[in-house]
Amino acid sequence: MANPRLRLLLPWRKFSKRDWAIAAFGFTIFFFALSFTSTKTIAPLDLVDLTLVRHAKDKGAVCLDGSAPGYHFRSGFGSGSNNWVLHIEGGGWCNTVASCLIRKTTALGSSNYMERQVRFSGILSHDSSQNPDFFDWNKVKLRYCDGASFAGNSQKNETQLFFRGQRIWEAVMDELLSIGLSNAKQVLLSGCSAGGLATLIHCDDFRGILPKDATVKCLADAGFFLDEKDVTGNRRIRSFYSDVVHLQGVANSLDKDCVGRMEPSQCFFPQEFIKNIKTPVFLVNPAYDFWQIQYVLIPAESDPSGKWAKCRLSIQKCSPAQIEILHGFRNSMLKTLSEFQQNKDGGMFINSCFSHCQTLMTETWHSPYSPRINNKTIAESVGDWYFNRKLVKQIDCPYPCNPTCSNMDFTWHR
């Protein structure tokens, strides 16, 4: 049974034949819900104002619709005054002009639609009981409005669409450096989903703009997307990423060694470039990532008979034979991560939950409801790794062995 506190987060709609297009558009409702995750009353101090990047338009650093990009910033205090956590918002990608046109009429493509205040929770919380290692640090939430993980940079103007994610990234970094990031002592760049992918893409460049004596590390939450075939043997996600990379001019932002070896769109998959990242990286990923299961392994188009209809929406409704196939997906993830597991500076928290982003919600980051491996929450594991208290290579046993998981259930609305 899914945790009822988490079920309330997501007023999910019925899935339709347009699933893949909606996946391209992103889990808009889901990521908006992450801003208001608690059932408790939100205190005024929990809400953080939106700041639009100054002079962004002069730099061509604009959202899909041409509006200025934005971020939310809260100052650190006490011993955390010179330390920073940056978190990159997630929300899928757009791979066609049509899907990008839809996206630009939402907060994932235009600052005109962004909430003027969002709640900081999870890794962004200022409450020491919810965020024991990073509560007093400077906090930044980067809003995502380009549709290509802050990596696009096309000069083409497609039907009044601007593909300028790389420029947005650079403009936001320039502004943050000017307000104190340039004096940082300890820094953690994080992001979830498409933002987790952006974290991996930009991790080393981010390290390069900061003081040489600063401790800089990167945390990707549900950003390790696999280049896997679906249940019918088609590589839909590879084709989808190819469209994103070519439409938005992403190639120049990708790992140069990888692009020199293979088709640039394949270098949008972290498995192809993670070994080249020099900055220490921590991966938080559910082995049964519901986004990847629903859109990589079992997209609606791959299940015309509907035999996967319930399973893809709730792991608790899968047959034993279907569970075996999901275990196969988990095995692919662990095999792909086997080399990274030997990285002495890297960290991992791979749990066996039917979940997606887990660092931005207090309920999954650090609370009585949080998933645990070896009795450690994600927050405790990340803290142990960041501060070098111990090596952290947490890999869960297969589903359904972990009773601390809050497995999402998207069938309850029916």
Residues with a known catalytic role? 193, 289, 356
CA 60 to chain centre: 25
Q: Which amino acid is at 171?
A: A
CA 128 to chain centre: 23
- Pairwise CA distance, residues 36 & 32, whole Å: 8
- Pairwise CA distance, residues 123 & 386, whole Å: 13
- Closest listed residue to residue 409, CA positions, set 5, 9, 32, 7: 7
Are 229 and 220 spatial neighbours (Cβ–Cβ below 8 Å)?
A: no
Q: Are strands 47-52 and 117-119 parallel, antiparallel or unpaired?
A: antiparallel
CA 356 to chain centre: 8
